[in-house]
Structure 1
């Protein structure tokens, strides 16, 4: 998850055609069938997505405001879209969102120096907030959980499955808090643990080179999307193109010797990802203007967008999540933030969107 249009521009600049793909010897055509659910107005940066237990979708925006939108019954031809909550009491922009206890979600964000997409965060304004539908499924409440004054840029949120009121939050960005950006040196990647009941938080993972940005693709993020599955912490590194996992204990702390395992590599700008559904070990990740399936063996296939015969459908994808309703259990919902593919990357226009991808029958 990224919060600056710089990342989109750099993604276009770094793109090189001729991606090496696996043979397409599987049921159904690639690209996978997909359709547009909604396109937000120009200037809207759609950043992340989570799915409620009833199947409705929650989508965060970074511009023009830090808000969560509600996509009702997304399996329908024309789903209803409504504003769920505007977090302007605490932040200008939202980034990550993740479910904790049923129908309760953590969102992270901060103040920024300017409302435009190319801006940097105001120092000491990052925080975690809660959006709670558990008391009233039609009208959520919100509260501030904790301020994170030492954070670089809080990004992706993942609850511990065995203790869902505790979440791990990735944190790394090179935009320093200042009005005019001049220093592009990377900040080190790190991971916070947050108790959503008390607001107590601390750093639990630091000093991993696998978290860091290297500058290989220009100034951008290192550790980005994260997930916790069974006893492993998973993450992607946007800058290096690697996918990793690390064994953790019940407190979310790395198990000695604490050495990350490399799962896959691909020359793309990874953003966020989801697991499942059929083969639950398959990772479905958003990359550079495409969505990819990653097998447990590290095989990577572009299933929609760049690298397929329909390569202009997924400009600037940011996150993905599978449906939770009986009507859409094989549907991968993907968010994005660009209207089209400009000839000049500097001419990219923000216009958030969400699409539904049918993964039925896909296998490696």
Structure 2
């Protein structure tokens, strides 16, 4: 009941606020080509997505339990979905990353309600596909590596480019970044910044959510601020001595969740405008565009996380997972099962080229 109570509040706020994206920005948004990969049962909140090098997808849940699913045959039109693992005694999985080829790290823990983590319950688990990658790729060995005894809801992470055994992990409750050495199993709170902290008026204690390491910076979102920031870091994963976070882009949205860069390592940020049911593209010049979804349609009901395909013929495809509208019910009442949607990003870049040509002709 608490979830739907907050959902209706968020819907009313987004409907009344004149600065939010979608219909308030001049009608329906552009609808780039997209297709449904798979939809889960109602009340399933998909929280993360990771595309393997073979094109298969891993996705995890924040409701009704802490599970990881395996999706094979993604590009065939006949995907097969299977439960990979359910974390007993936990009820949320938040993020995934590939640590080594066929070895993945997953964060799991407990929350009292959606978005309210229980401090001291989160840990990092290893999913090792190597022993079974040929015989049974859907059956990894699973081991807990690190436990955040002093941490809150750990929601996103990435590897250091020069030391991939070191991960930077965002703690949305504390409002900082943990530095985790997987070799020594040691961790410390390495980065704190004012824009990583939870906002006092937010419905949940959520500050920094997703993060990516790129070109000597960590890029991160503060979801309730609907802002992407970046902060300079050292090669060993600490804040640069003269570093303060700077705004990359503040977008017109109520709640911005996870994001990815791409395609093919490009500079465009593809962000899940969670409470507005939209996918946003933020180009390197700071322009943001709604490329799919509207607040009042089910096209992307509660997009949560994004990641580009990795096969040669799939690198322009962005995979988006949703919560089915559990954060903000569409039109205040309608929810569905979380789903995986494949988005063709090529028309977006073609439109940019077309606009540039038109400007040159003026």
Fold-level match, TM-score > 0.5? yes
Could you tell me how far 1:120 is from its partner in structure 2? Answer: 4.4
Distance 1:339 1:37, change over 3 A: farther
Aligned position for 1:79: 79
Distance 1:35 1:91, change over 3 A: same
Where does 1:215-294 land on structure 2 (aligned, <5 Å)? 215=200, 218-268=203-253, 269-277=255-263, 280-287=266-273, 288-294=276-282
Tell me the number of residue pairs that the alignment of Structure 1 and Structure 2 aligns: 333
Aligned position for 1:95: 94
Aligned position for 1:178: none
How far apart, CA to CA, are the structure 2 residues paired with 1:100 and 1:279? Answer: 18
How far apart, CA to CA, are the structure 1 residues paired with 2:208 and 2:34? Answer: 28
Distance 1:272 1:160, change over 3 A: same
Aligned position for 1:131: 127
TM-score with structure 2 length normalisation?
0.84
Could you tell me how far 1:136 is from its partner in structure 2? Answer: 2.4
Q: Are the aligned partners of 2:291 and 2:348 in contact in 1 as well (CA < 8 Å)?
A: no
TM-score with structure 1 length normalisation?
0.84
Distance 1:132 1:7, change over 3 A: farther
Distance 1:119 1:17, change over 3 A: closer
How far apart, CA to CA, are the structure 1 residues paired with 2:236 and 2:204? Answer: 33
How far apart, CA to CA, are the structure 2 residues paired with 1:35 and 1:282? Answer: 22
How far apart, CA to CA, are the structure 1 residues paired with 2:48 and 2:330? Answer: 26
SS of residue matched to 1:135: helix
Aligned position for 1:358: 344
How far apart, CA to CA, are the structure 2 residues paired with 1:343 and 1:255? Answer: 42
Distance 1:79 1:147, change over 3 A: same
Could you tell me how far 1:190 is from its partner in structure 2? Answer: 0.7
Unaligned stretches of 5+ in structure 2? 353-362
Question: Over aligned residue pairs, what C-alpha RMSD do you find?
Answer: 2.6
1:163 and 2:167 correspond: no
Could you tell me how far 1:235 is from its partner in structure 2? Answer: 0.4
SS of residue matched to 1:41: strand
Q: Are the aligned partners of 2:128 and 2:141 in contact in 1 as well (CA < 8 Å)?
A: yes
Aligned position for 1:318: 304
Could you tell me how far 1:230 is from its partner in structure 2? Answer: 2.6
Unaligned stretches of 5+ in structure 1? 174-187
Q: Are the aligned partners of 2:115 and 2:206 in contact in 1 as well (CA < 8 Å)?
A: no
Could you tell me how far 1:125 is from its partner in structure 2? Answer: 1.4
Aligned position for 1:185: none
Distance 1:231 1:62, change over 3 A: same
